[in-house]
Structure 1
Amino acid sequence: MPGTLSAAAVAVLTTAAPTDKVALTRRFAADWSAGRITALGDTAPPDRPARPERPELRLPRDMPKRGRGGSAQNRIALLHALAHIELNAIDLAWDLCARFAGAALPRGFFDDWVRVADDEARHFDLLERRMNALGAAYGDLPAHDGLWQSAQATAHDLAARLAVVPMVLEARGLDVTPDTVARLRGFGDAESAGILRLIHDDEIVHVAAGRRWFEHVCGERGAEPVALWQELVRRYFRGQVKRPFNIDGRLRAGFGPEFYEPLAAD
């Protein structure tokens, strides 16, 4: 067992096989929660996490368009894309724990992001099992590498990482998931819809953690949160903050429209 949280985080980040990454995450999260791991340590994370040979990683612009119909092929493509996001999210949470272990943060910061990593591992497992039930597996389709590009761009600054990853990328998940859940129910796929509803509700907690710790960092720096968030998103997010917004879900995360409406694009 790794002796420190950063060593545990790096063990996950350097594990390529998704099933092993999930298993290690669940084990280390339990060890941290139970007090079997207590020290943060100073093990440095890799620039990029280990990845399996499949799926083939492409630039976002080179990804095939997904159909919106209810065929099994379209639903598998949707679940595969979401599983890839969740696998990246496991690594993003552990990277936070290792990369910023020396940043004089309260233990609650690490409690939150270890919990997020554990949630993301559970989400990946649910999506993988559902794909298996539909006759597919993670790696069967290509995937894009855009999420880790955002991580690399913000590796030097905790505020920037929190502004972009939980408060833009995960918040976007809150916006699009309710419509996807409704479409899946309309196709008669209540099982997939239920998984996405569970993920949506957990992601509210994750966005709330991002917002809470972003405001903590702002307080340490004497910065105004809304202004700094907008500045960092303009600087580091390669894309647009898109409407429509799930205002209710965002408000449940404590993430008000004063942050994102001034940057919004239709």
Structure 2
Amino acid sequence: MATAVLETADAKTKTALSRDYAARWFAARRGETPEIKIGTASPPLRPARPAKPELLDPRDVPRRRPGSPEGRKALLHAVAHIELNAVDLHWDIIARFGGRVRFPMGFFDDWVKSADEESKHFQLVSGCLESMGSFYGELAAHAGMWRAAEDTAEDIMGRLAVVPMVLEARGLDVTPGMIEVFRKAGDPAAKQAVEALEVIYAEEVHHVAYGSKWFHFLCGRQDTDPKEAFHRLVRTYFHGALKPPFNEEKRAEAGLPPDFYWPLSETGSVG
């Protein structure tokens, strides 16, 4: 099921399939349908992607001011691209590591739920774009989104450290500012975007928390200090320093204390 999502190229089909599989998983977990067995899989190194958007080097993606309608459209397009990649990231961690690392069933519950929510987020933001006369794929997008997945394809600890605990945690830092951009615009399309971003903001905390939860679980199994392991893995797999300001309240809610990320920041200070 996870690999089928990864091998589906069309964004709307991918997210619909993702949500259908998540519903089937949880129906089975509630005992309403026959049990779904955990097997093994050979997921693709890169997920299937639609012909559009054109994927560019991050330096080549055009910059637009968010105060203009075109800038707000570009911002939502970037969010949609992030959410679509997140759908694949959550199914990939199941397909790639679920059959080779011994996890309790809660591991699968958490990442299926995350994939379902990311699919919902993509659909919400895609709907916002359509209300603005646009669509996902109209603009160019960031080609480097999958790099962290490729770099950590053989390292479950690295995957948990970099994807939910760094990349998704960054969403907790920047989403309040995005909400404010659309709130100031005040038009009906912007109001719809605010509602979508508020859903995303509330649910992304859980995804970061799942990363922290299973990272600490594996550190406990290996008798490894979580903070030291996190610092080592981020320096190995993440390219560049972490950028403040940090949303310390939401990060703490997700199980990320300041001494995890401040030493890896551009200032390198916890103070």
Aligned to 1:203: 204
Q: How does 1:20-59 map to 2 (within 5 A)?
A: 20-35=13-28, 36=33, 38-59=36-57
* 1:172 to 2:139 alignment: no
Aligned-pair distance for 1:80? Answer: 0.3
Tell me, in whole angstroms, the C-alpha distance in 2 between the residues paired with 1:160 and 1:38: 28
1:89 partner letter: A
**TM-score calculated relative to the size of structure 2:** 0.93
1:250 partner letter: R
Aligned to 1:256: 257
Tell me, in whole angstroms, the C-alpha distance in 1 between the residues paired with 2:134 and 2:172: 26
Aligned-pair distance for 1:157? Answer: 0.7
1:79 partner letter: L
Aligned-pair distance for 1:146? Answer: 1.7
Tell me, in whole angstroms, the C-alpha distance in 2 between the residues paired with 1:54 and 1:183: 26
Aligned to 2:231: 230
Runs (4+) of structure 1 moved beyond 2 Å?
none
Tell me, in whole angstroms, the C-alpha distance in 2 between the residues paired with 1:156 and 1:43: 14
Tell me, in whole angstroms, the C-alpha distance in 1 between the residues paired with 2:79 and 2:240: 19
1:249 partner letter: K
Aligned to 1:239: 240
SS at match of 2:73: helix
- Superposed CA deviations along residues 136-192 of structure 1, whole A, max 9, x for unmatched, are 000000001222011000010111000000000000000011111112111112221
Tell me, in whole angstroms, the C-alpha distance in 2 between the residues paired with 1:98 and 1:223: 25
2:50 partner letter: P
Q: Is the 8 A contact 2:64 2:70 kept in 1?
A: no
Aligned-pair distance for 1:239? Answer: 2.3
Aligned-pair distance for 1:65? Answer: 1.2
SS at match of 1:44: coil
Aligned-pair distance for 1:43? Answer: 1.7
Any stretches of 5+ residues in structure 2 without a counterpart? none
1:143 partner letter: A
* CA RMSD in angstroms, aligned pairs only: 1.0
Aligned to 1:182: 180
Aligned to 1:163: 161
SS at match of 2:146: helix
Aligned to 1:92: 89
1:81 partner letter: A
Aligned-pair distance for 1:66? Answer: 2.5
Aligned to 2:11: 18
Tell me, in whole angstroms, the C-alpha distance in 1 between the residues paired with 2:70 and 2:12: 23
Tell me, in whole angstroms, the C-alpha distance in 2 between the residues paired with 1:117 and 1:239: 27
Tell me, in whole angstroms, the C-alpha distance in 2 between the residues paired with 1:100 and 1:260: 25
